[in-house]
Amino acid sequence: MKQKASYQRYLNRFGWFCVLPSVVLFGVFMLYPILSSLYYVTRRWKGMSNTFIGLGNFIRMGQDKVFLSALGNNFLFMVVQIPLMVFLALVLAVILNQGIRRFKGAFRLAIFLPAVTSLVVVSVLFRVLLQENGMLNNVLLKARLIAEPIGWLNDAAWAKVTIILAMTWRWTGYNMVFFLVGLQSIDPQIYEAAEVDGASKARQFFTITIPLLVPVILFSVVTSTSGTMQLFDEPNILTWQGGPANATMTAALYIYRQAFFVNADFGYATAMSYVVVLISGIFAFAQMRLLGDRGNK
């Protein structure tokens, strides 16, 4: 018995030895930043100097028009882009699952490819296509759909449209994969019974496919909302750090600029991060209650 207990202690110590590097990395790069942020959030922190200001960062945030505008851009992208992307992903998944018999793998790869393409490559591609004398404007002019070139990257309204298009193009294929998995888990006999009852394809889509995919839709919407609230790459690279005139500035990009470029104020940046996390959590909770309740009916 003593030998068995000694061997068990050896296994426990060896197990802790194996997980120790992960625990140390988690503590240094996850736990410590979270705990230290509770200290930074109450201070005006600039370089080696810091001053305790209590809730001053949150008061300043309510008066910061650029930050409030950045949050408004996040909400705009979320309200417009997420429903568009989810709908397109769902339609493409249905078409690939039922409507296409040959070259399914090639079509799936082509649609999913933007999600794994380097953002630098995507940004260069979009900047070339969307210049005032770029390919897209030339095609629209020759087709006489527009009278003059559109300032996709220079006009405030069109720059927002560009960000929405880039996000939709990049992430539709990613969400399509989840819908494909969900569709393949639905029993085909349900559709056969619906056809016998005379239900059209459109009716089957809205009364069978969508209700049975509510858990997948919930997952896609929640993760997309979280990603949109953290949107950074597209406005930073496509529109040169949230231009023109902060028209595409997002909360994450503004936090980054405040922390490392404009004011180098880590306390203010930390306070804004807490607000963004809180908003993301509220949206996720509301979506899970709304769609989750529907999925359980």
Q: Residue 70's pLDDT is what?
A: 94
Residue at 203 is within a domain: yes
Residue at 115 is within a domain: yes
Q: Would you say residue 97 has pLDDT above 70?
A: yes
C-alpha–C-alpha distance, residues 104 and 92, integer Å: 11
Check whether residue 99 and residue 18 sit in a common domain. Answer: no
Output the pTM of the full model. 0.85
Check whether residue 12 and residue 93 sit in a common domain. Answer: no
Model confidence at 274, in pLDDT bands (50, 70, 90)?
Answer: very high
Other CB atoms closer than 10 Å to residue 286's CB: what's the count? 12
C-alpha–C-alpha distance, residues 286 and 36, integer Å: 29
**What CATH number does residue 169 fall under?**
1.10.3720.10
Q: Residue 102's pLDDT is what?
A: 73
Q: Residue 99's pLDDT is what?
A: 63
Question: How many independent structural domains does the chain possess?
Answer: 2
Q: Would you say residue 278 has pLDDT above 90?
A: yes
- The residue segments making up the domain with residue 114 are 63-296
pLDDT averaged over the chain?
86
Tokens of 198: 């005379």
Check whether residue 17 and residue 123 sit in a common domain. Answer: no
Q: Residue 262's pLDDT is what?
A: 73
Q: Residue 4's pLDDT is what?
A: 64
Check whether residue 24 and residue 129 sit in a common domain. Answer: no
Q: Residue 82's pLDDT is what?
A: 94
Q: Would you say residue 233 has pLDDT above 80?
A: yes
Tell me the pLDDT tens digit for each residue of 35-87.
888 888 888 876 667 788 888 889 999 999 999 999 999 999 999 999 999 99
Check whether residue 198 and residue 70 sit in a common domain. Answer: yes
Model confidence at 293, in pLDDT bands (50, 70, 90)?
Answer: low
Nearest 5 degrees, angle CA 241-CA 125-CA 123?
A: 25
Q: Would you say residue 226 has pLDDT above 60?
A: yes
Question: How confident is the model over 220-244, as a mean pLDDT?
Answer: 88
Backbone Cα Rg of the chain: 25
Tell me the pLDDT tens digit for each residue of 106-159.
887 888 888 888 877 887 788 888 888 888 899 888 888 888 888 888 888 999
Residue at 6 is within a domain: yes
Residue at 123 is within a domain: yes
